[in-house]
Structures are given as structure tokens and as C-alpha cells.
């Protein structure tokens, strides 16, 4: 398969020639810290991404601010959208991480906050589009969101609107172990259970108090009992807090709850179970916030794109990666849940998402970028 911009080069050669530029672009993005909960930082990151896209593709993406969060979208060509390249540029890392985990490209890997999840994928997406001749990009939409790591609450509608009616969504999240593509993801729910009791002096009149902490402890078995490991359904209490001082019966307590399931039916069962919780102590109260955040990405929505990806990979004489189902969620859950063909895990090969050893394998960046460019060309041609 030839590169449309350089007829005497293969896509793999053209992508390999771009690798030094891709690494420089990756350093540029990593060195702008973008923790999801800092809207100003996310906006600064989006500005850097917009500059980079304009330099590499010759067009500046539209800046779209929703609920204070900055997202970018670039529609290429005058025709209707046909394929969406879906990325995010926010990360889980707090300000100051660069001081102890700076960008590095040595020993065959790239390191730095967001290197694996998912700034390498974002750079790959930009350069894959750049590998196509300008008159061969018509119908590609590049969407870069700024709140994926915290549930995509402001970008969900934008993602669905962008993907509606397209032939496919290509999600540049990092791969599964060994470079495997992600053809299935569990759906998820995000909840906070708030417990109210009555504060009282723990020494003078503890009997007048109603302990929100004891009520919360009583609720935990009911919460975790909603899990069904055999069905792949998890219900996990995570962050919790409560109380005020060491000598006060706690009048309030909260617990965050993470739910994951392979099917919407299971997510809805757990949701109903959480909403059915009732206090066990007289005078205590419960209030549940949140709900189902992302539907599952079910394998049938990925099969067609997977077959095309495998065919392009073989044409480029590259090894075809495995395809697996994983527990984590991504923005691809939204598009698959809406019935749009979606293939995920097309980005970096490496390890350490959200962990200190986060890294991307340099040797895999250019070949996977070449396959992505070939896949885009194939999808644009077949959707004409």
C-alpha cells in the first residue's frame, strides 16, 4: 500500500520517516500538564494541540467550550463526516508531576505523564491524517476532548453528535497488553452515596447521636453484594469520607461507588439495586447521586472495523495484533452504545496507564501510525 503523498514510498516508510517529528510533538504535548479537573490547564493543553494540528495539517481545529471545558474538532474536506478519529488530551496527573517524571525518550520507550494514556495516540492520529494527501482527507473528523479521565460529562453530547451517521469511530486510546486492539469494553456507572445521621458529643451524650459512619458500614455489604463476578459485574466502593472531629459522633459520611458490567441489563440491575438502598438506623438518611456513565462497547460493533484493520495490516506486511475485551471504559463506549461501529486501542503500545511506570514503546509508534493511515484511506474509499 503506497502513501498517497509520496507515491514511491510505502506507508510504513513514510511513517518511519516522520518518527523523529512525532517524538518531538509528543514531548511538546507532555510538557503541558493537563490534569482533568483544572479547566485552565486543559484549555492551555488544547491551545497547544490546536497549534500542533494547524502546523501538521494546515487547518486549525474549532475550539468548543462546554461547561467550561475545552474541546477541539477539525472536519477535513467539504463533504459530510465519514470517519471520526477520537482522542483526549487531559490526563490524570496533578501539577508538578513533570518535575519528577519528565519527558524521556531512551531505552526504546517514551516516558512522561500521559505518554501512554493517551498523548502518544493523539500524536499518532494527527500524523496518520498527515500521511494522506490533502484531497484524500475529505470526511475525516478529528475530535480531541478535555474531560475523558473524569467521565466525559461535558463532551458526551459532542462525541455523539460528531459520530452520528459516520462509517466508524477510531479511538486512539492505548492498546491492551502486547499491542492488542480493544473490541469490547465494560460499561460503567459513577455514584456517590451520601449518608446523614445526627452529630453529638462523643463523650457527653453519644446516645443522642446517629452515626453516619455506622450507617455507611451497614450499607457496604449491600452495595458490594450487587456485584456478580460470574457475569463480569463489579461494584466497588472507592473514595470515602466522614466525620468532623475526633470527639464527635459523625453526622455525615460519603462513599464513591464504581460499577462496571458487560451489558446494559447488568448496569441497569445494579443501578436499580443502589437506588433501592434504605437506612438501617432510625433517623439516618441516604441520598444517591450519579448514575450509569457509559454503556458497554460490545464486540459486534467492532468486528467490521477489526477485519478492515487486519487486512490493511497484512497489506503492509506487518503482524496483525490480537483483539481483546477489557474492563476499562473510554469515549468509544458512547459511540458504540449509539450503534456506531467503533474500534478502540489503536494508540500506543506500552504499559502503566495512571501509574508511575507509564511508558510507550517507540518501535511501535510508526508502524501503527502507518496502519491507521491505511485504515482511514480504506474507510473513506468504501464509504463513498
Q: Going by C-beta distance under 8 Å and a sequence separation of 6 or more, which residues neighbour residue 206? A: 200, 249
Is residue 127 within 8 A of residue 68, CB to CB? The reply is: no
For residue 376, what is its C-alpha cell? Answer: 482511514
pLDDT value at residue 3 = 41
Per the document, the length of the chain is 384
Distance CA 222, CA 278 (A): 10
Instruction: Write out residues in the chain with pLDDT < 50, as ranges.
Output: 2-8
pLDDT value at residue 4 = 47
DSSP string, 261-329: ESSHHHHHHHHHHHHT---SSTT-EEEEEEEEEE--B-GGGTHHHHHHHHHHHHHTT-PPPPEEEES--
Q: Going by C-beta distance under 8 Å and a sequence separation of 6 or more, which residues neighbour residue 105? A: 23, 27, 111, 362
Q: Where are the domains of the chain?
A: 2-186+296-382, 187-294
Query: Which CATH entry fits the domain spanning 2-186+296-382: 3.40.50.150, 3.40.190.10, 3.40.630.10, 3.40.50.1370?
Result: 3.40.630.10
Catalytic residues: 90, 148
Whether the pTM exceeds 0.85: the reply is yes
Distance CA 166, CA 187 (A): 22
pLDDT value at residue 6 = 42
Q: Which of 359, 318, 344 has its CA nearest to residue 15?
A: 318
Q: Going by C-beta distance under 8 Å and a sequence separation of 6 or more, which residues neighbour residue 51? A: none
Distance CA 77, CA 58 (A): 12
pLDDT value at residue 66 = 98
pLDDT value at residue 1 = 54
Q: Is domain 187-294 classified as CATH 3.30.70.360?
A: yes
pLDDT value at residue 384 = 73
pLDDT digits (tens, 9 = 90+) for 111-136: 999 999 999 999 999 999 999 999 99
Amino acid at each position: 500500500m503506497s502513501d498517497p503523498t509520496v507515491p514511491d514510498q510505502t506507508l510504513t516508510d513514510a511513517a518511519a520517516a516522520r518518527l523523529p517529528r512525532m517524538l518531538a510533538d509528543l514531548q511538546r504535548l507532555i510538557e503541558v500538564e493537563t490534569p482533568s479537573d483544572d479547566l485552565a490547564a486543559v484549555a492551555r493543553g488544547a491551545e497547544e494541540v490546536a497549534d500542533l494540528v494547524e502546523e501538521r495539517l494546515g487547518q486549525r481545529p474549532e475550539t468548543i467550550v462546554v461547561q467550561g471545558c475545552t474541546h477541539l474538532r477539525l472536519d477535513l474536506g467539504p463533504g459530510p463526516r465519514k470517519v471520526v478519529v477520537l482522542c483526549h488530551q487531559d490526563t490524570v496527573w496533578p501539577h508538578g508531576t513533570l518535575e519528577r517524571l519528565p519527558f524521556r525518550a531512551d531505552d526504546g520507550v517514551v516516558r512522561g505523564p500521559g505518554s501512554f494514556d493517551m498523548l502518544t495516540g493523539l500524536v499518532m492520529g494527527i500524523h496518520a491524517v498527515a500521511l494522506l494527501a490533502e484531497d484524500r482527507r475529505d470526511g475525516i473528523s478529528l475530535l480531541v476532548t478535555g474531560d475523558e479521565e473524569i467521565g466525559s460529562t461535558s463532551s458526551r453530547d459532542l462525541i455523539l453528535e460528531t459520530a452520528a451517521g459516520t462509517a466508524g469511530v477510531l479511538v486512539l486510546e492505548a492498546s491492551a497488553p502486547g499491542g492488542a486492539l480493544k473490541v469490547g469494553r465494560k460499561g460503567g456507572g459513577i455514584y456517590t452515596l451520601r449518608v446523614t445521621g445526627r452529630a453529638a458529643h462523643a463523650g457527653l451524650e453519644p446516645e443522642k447521636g446517629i452515626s453516619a459512619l455506622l450507617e455507611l458500614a451497614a450499607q457496604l455489604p449491600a452495595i458490594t453484594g450487587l456485584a456478580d463476578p460470574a457475569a463480569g459485574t463489579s461494584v466497588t466502593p472507592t473514595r470515602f469520607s466522614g466525620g468532623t472531629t475526633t470527639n464527635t459522633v459523625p453526622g455525615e459520611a460519603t462513599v464513591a461507588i464504581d460499577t462496571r458490567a458487560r451489558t446494559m441489563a447488568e448496569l441497569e440491575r445494579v443501578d436499580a439495586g443502589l437506588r433501592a438502598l434504605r437506612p438501617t438506623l432510625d433517623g439516618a438518611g441516604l441520598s444517591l447521586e450519579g448514575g450509569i456513565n457509559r454503556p458497554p462497547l460490545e464486540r459486534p460493533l467492532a468486528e467490521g472495523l477489526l477485519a478492515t484493520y487486519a487486512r490493511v495490516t497484512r497489506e503492509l506486511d506487518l503482524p496483525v495484533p490480537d483483539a481483546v475485551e477489557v474492563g476499562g471504559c473510554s469515549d468509544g463506549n458512547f459511540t458504540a452504545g449509539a450503534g456506531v461501529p467503533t474500534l478502540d486501542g489503536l494508540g500506543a503500545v506500552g504499559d502503566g496507564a495512571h501509574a508511575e511506570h507509564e511508558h510507550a514503546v517507540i518501535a511501535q509508534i510508526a508502524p501503527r501510525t502507518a496502519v491507521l493511515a491505511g485504515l482511514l484511506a480504506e474507510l473513506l474509499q468504501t464509504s463513498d
